Amino acid sequence: MTKAWFKKRLNDHYLKQSRIDSFRSRAAYKLEEIDKKYSLIKPGMKILDLGAAPGSWSQYIARKTGGKSSVIAIDLLPIEPIEQVTILQGDLRSKEKQDEIRKLAPKGLDLVLSDMAPDTTGIHYADADNSIELVTAALNLSYELLKPGGSFVAKVFEGEGYSELLRQTKKNFDFAKSYNPKASLASSRELYLVARFFKPSQKSV
Ligand SMILES: C[S@@+](CC[C@H](N)C(=O)[O-])C[C@H]1O[C@@H](n2cnc3c(N)ncnc32)[C@H](O)[C@@H]1O
């Protein structure tokens, strides 16, 4: 049995499990793995969920915190309502949407999550560049809105710009590392940048 065969079996498993658990997508298990490893999500937190459609990460947060968290979720696509989640629709990079987020988080955020993914072109370096652009937008907003000690998680398609992005992130957080969840598709070149203990003195990348 090859590694790809095992990964395919694992992918099918996560898909079936998401139906059993009534998650809107299998992506929930990636966040669950990240959360189990780094203990990021706790009741009482104010959390921003970027690239949130169809909504399984927000569902996971609402369940994990027993509804005792406050989540702002945004996506280009519409998201069906989720209890305790404020849903916005639009491009995270637009000033208009960023202003809406600022208004909804006047006292700052404990955690920023981004599962944003660009439309893929099949050209690896172009997809990676587009992904880095999305992560950079998410990071810049985080530098403005995260509370001291806050955390950041973002999906990245690994490419040329990633090592520089990681280096910059390490300047702004006490801890920054790449993490590759088992629940990621075998065919995917995605990984997650996990950064903890935000140091607010730094400026944007
Ligand atoms: C992999 S899906 C997210 C799955 C989601 N985490 C879940 O658990 O259901 C990636 C999402 O990123 C969104 N996206 C991509 N670029 C975006 C942008 N500039 N602003 C907001 N959302 C974006 C896409 O519309 C897509 O729905």
Per-residue pLDDT tens over the stretch 70-125: 999 999 999 999 998 999 999 999 999 999 999 999 999 999 999 999 998 888 88
How high is the pLDDT of residue 6? 67
Q: Indicate if 7 belongs to the active site.
A: no
| Cβ-contact 34, 194 below 8 angstroms | yes
- Residue 204 covered by a domain: no
pLDDT given at position 186: 64
Note the pTM of the prediction, 2 decimals.
0.94
The count of domains in the chain is 1
- Whether residue 87 has its Cβ less than 6 Å from ligand 1: no
Residue 203 domain-assigned (yes or no): no
Average pLDDT, the chain: 93
Q: Is residue 31 part of a domain?
A: yes
Domain that holds residue 76: 3-198
Does ligand 1 have an atom closer than 6 angstroms to the CB of 14? no
Q: How far is C-alpha 96 from the geometric centre of its chain's CA atoms?
A: 21
CA 88/CA 14 separation, integer angstroms = 27
Between the CA of 30 and the centroid of ligand 1 the distance, in Å, is 14
2 C-alpha vs ligand 1 centroid, how far in Å? 31
Query: Atom of ligand 1 at shortest distance to CA of 74?
Result: 21
Q: Which of 33, 21, 23, 80 is nearest to 53 (CA)?
A: 80
pLDDT of 45 above 80? yes
CB 195 within 8 A of CB 155: no
Contacts of 139 (CB under 8 A, 6+ apart): 152, 154, 165, 168, 169, 172, 204, 205
The pLDDT-based confidence of 202 (bands split at 50, 70, 90) is low
Domain contains 103: yes
Which protein residue's CA is at the shortest distance from atom 24 of ligand 1?
A: 51
Please report the pLDDT score of residue 145 as a whole number: 98
> Which residue among the candidates 16, 36, 155, 171 is catalytic per the annotation?
155
Q: The tokens 């993490």 sit on which residue? A: 179
Question: pLDDT at position 1, please?
Answer: 62
Query: pLDDT tens digits for 181-198?
Result: 988 876 678 999 999 999
Looking at residue 57, what is its pLDDT? Answer: 98
What CATH number does the domain containing 12 carry? Answer: 3.40.50.150
Task: Name 114's bridge partners.
Answer: 50, 154
The atom number, within ligand 1, closest to the CA of 119 reads 15
In a domain, 205, yes or no: no
57 assigned to some structural domain: yes
Confidence of residue 133 (pLDDT cuts 50, 70, 90): very high
Beta strand 190-198 with 146-157: parallel, antiparallel or unpaired? antiparallel
